[in-house]
């Protein structure tokens, strides 16, 4: 399966298992979504369980909160992550706080899907990576898969979760892994083992990272598209890097992070979002707090720049394998 197909399969499986699961958003019903992730679900389950919503992100999320309070399991789509801002008050003040303010009487068991990230020439309003906004809010879970197998299992786990889950989908990975070399042919998921996705039900835990690439010289902490960029950078730079795919950005699997950094003694943090106050800053602080006496070199950070995502300079902004590879070499003392 492609990631598009695996996400659709997850919703299909859950809609079949539980009549309370409903799917909606802009163009999600008849059209099947701008990326066709929900294609066929309305035809299969009807217009009361998969339907189109007005262009109102606040309305989409606000109605989902009410549905969740009454026991439904809404899975809503924000067409691009860049458009979530009008729904900020509903997400932060209502969904994230519902369990606390009701003393556990109500929850917001809902999943908010958002295609995110660049690499598709989407410019400043179709390329943002806003994960740090959500990790700052207590009461939210934030997830970003890097491959179709994890995407399906994580989405099923998100739909079953009693907390509101922000489910970020790196759209550059929808149809194949991307190592940052935009001038090379796209490799389809059909040629990769992580494109082998079971048809039925399975879960991937929401709070578990995975060692994507074992290594001994340096730990790379990353998620989403940057998992593939980091793996490519390590190979091309000749550095024996251990790449950790966080998968669940928050809550964070701190044990896996700490165990890896204590083993390698070095750490590079990589993400596509802007640098200042990005989630990488939190990762750097945690590694410093938990692994200080094991560190052999300063922690490196490779990110997007502190600018809007530029259309004309897409690949100068995107943290490609050359920039990541240079950081890996600095971390292990192999600078040219």
Lowest mean pLDDT among 151-155, 163-167, 308-312: 308-312
Count of Cβ atoms closer than 10 Å to residue 71 Cβ: 10
Q: What would the mean pLDDT of 78-82 be, rounded to a whole number?
A: 95
Residue 162 is part of a domain; what is its CATH number?
Answer: 3.40.50.970
Q: 245 and 299, same structural domain?
A: yes
Q: 225 and 169, same structural domain?
A: no
- For residue 272, is it within any domain? yes
| Separation CA 82–CA 80 (nearest Å) | 5
pLDDT classification of 120: cutoffs 50, 70, 90: confident
Q: 107 and 58, same structural domain?
A: yes
- For residue 313, is it within any domain? yes
- For residue 201, is it within any domain? no
Q: 94 and 43, same structural domain?
A: yes
Q: Which pair of tokens denotes residue 45? A: 């389950």
Q: 172 and 95, same structural domain?
A: yes
pLDDT classification of 334: cutoffs 50, 70, 90: confident
Q: 65 and 22, same structural domain?
A: yes
Per-residue pLDDT at 70 exceeds 70: yes
- For residue 203, is it within any domain? no
Task: Quick: pLDDT tens for 16-53.
Answer: 999 999 999 999 999 999 999 999 999 999 999 999 99
Domain end among 164, 195, 226: 195
Taking all residues of the chain, what is their mean pLDDT, rounded to a whole number?
96
Q: 3-state DSSP helix/strand/coil percent for the chain, to nearest 5?
A: 40, 15, 45
- For residue 295, is it within any domain? yes
Domain end among 165, 195, 225: 195
Q: 294 and 191, same structural domain?
A: no
On the 0-12 / 13-18 / 19+ scale of CB atoms within 10 A, 199 is exposed
On the 0-12 / 13-18 / 19+ scale of CB atoms within 10 A, 72 is middle
Cα three-residue angle 135-141-145, rounded to 5 degrees: 95
Q: 171 and 224, same structural domain?
A: no
Annotation marks residue 126 as catalytic: yes
pLDDT of residue 186: 87
- For residue 226, is it within any domain? yes
Q: 191 and 266, same structural domain?
A: no
User: Would you say the pTM of this structure is higher than 0.85?
Assistant: yes
Residue 116 belongs to what domain range?
A: 3-195
Is it true that the peptide bond before 15 is cis, omega within 30 degrees of 0?
no
- For residue 314, is it within any domain? yes
Q: 156 and 14, same structural domain?
A: yes
Domain end among 195, 223, 255: 195
Task: Quick: pLDDT tens for 254-298.
Answer: 999 999 999 999 999 999 999 999 999 999 999 999 999 999 999
Percent of the chain whose predicted confidence (pLDDT) is above 70:
100
Per-residue pLDDT at 336 exceeds 80: no
Q: 293 and 188, same structural domain?
A: no
How many separate domains does the chain show? 2
Residue 305 is part of a domain; what is its CATH number?
Answer: 3.40.50.920
Specify the pairing of strand 248-250 against strand 21-25: unpaired
Task: Quick: pLDDT tens for 85-107.
Answer: 999 999 999 999 999 999 999 99
Q: What would the mean pLDDT of 229-250 be, rounded to a whole number?
A: 97
- For residue 204, is it within any domain? no
Q: 190 and 50, same structural domain?
A: yes
């Amino acid at each position: 399966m492609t990631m598009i197909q695996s996400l659709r399969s997850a919703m299909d499986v859950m809609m079949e298992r539980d009549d309370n699961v409903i799917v909606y958003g802009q163009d999600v019903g008849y059209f099947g979504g701008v990326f066709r992730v929900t294609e066929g679900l309305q035809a299969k389950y009807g217009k009361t369980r998969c339907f189109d919503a007005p262009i109102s992100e606040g309305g989409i999320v606000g109605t989902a909160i009410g549905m969740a309070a009454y026991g439904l399991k809404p899975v809503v789509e924000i067409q691009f992550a860049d458009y979530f801002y009008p729904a900020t008050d509903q997400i932060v003040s209502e969904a994230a706080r519902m369990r606390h303010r009701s003393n556990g009487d109500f929850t917001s068991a809902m999943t908010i899907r958002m295609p995110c990230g660049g690499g598709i020439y989407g410019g400043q309003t179709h390329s943002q990576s806003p994960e740090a906004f959500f990790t700052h809010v207590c009461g939210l879970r934030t997830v970003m898969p890097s491959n179709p197998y994890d995407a399906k299992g994580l989405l099923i786990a998100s739909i079953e979760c009693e907390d509101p889950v922000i489910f970020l989908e790196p759209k550059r990975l929808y149809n194949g892994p991307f190592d940052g070399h935009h001038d090379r042919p796209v490799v389809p998921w059909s040629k990769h083992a992580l494109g082998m996705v079971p048809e039925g039900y399975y879960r991937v835990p929401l709070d578990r990272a995975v060692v994507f690439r074992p290594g001994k010289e340096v730990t790379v902490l990353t998620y989403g598209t940057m998992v593939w960029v980091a793996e490519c950078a390590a190979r091309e730079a000749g550095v024996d890097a251990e790449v950790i795919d966080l998968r669940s950005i928050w809550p964070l699997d701190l044990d896996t992070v700490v165990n890896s950094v204590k083993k390698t003694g070095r750490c590079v943090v990589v993400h596509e979002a802007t640098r200042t106050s990005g989630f990488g800053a939190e990762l750097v602080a945690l590694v410093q707090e938990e692994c200080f006496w094991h560190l052999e070199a300063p922690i490196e950070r490779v990110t997007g720049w502190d600018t809007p995502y530029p259309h004309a300079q897409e690949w100068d902004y995107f943290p490609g394998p050359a920039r990541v590879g240079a950081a890996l070499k600095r971390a292990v003392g192999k600078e040219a």
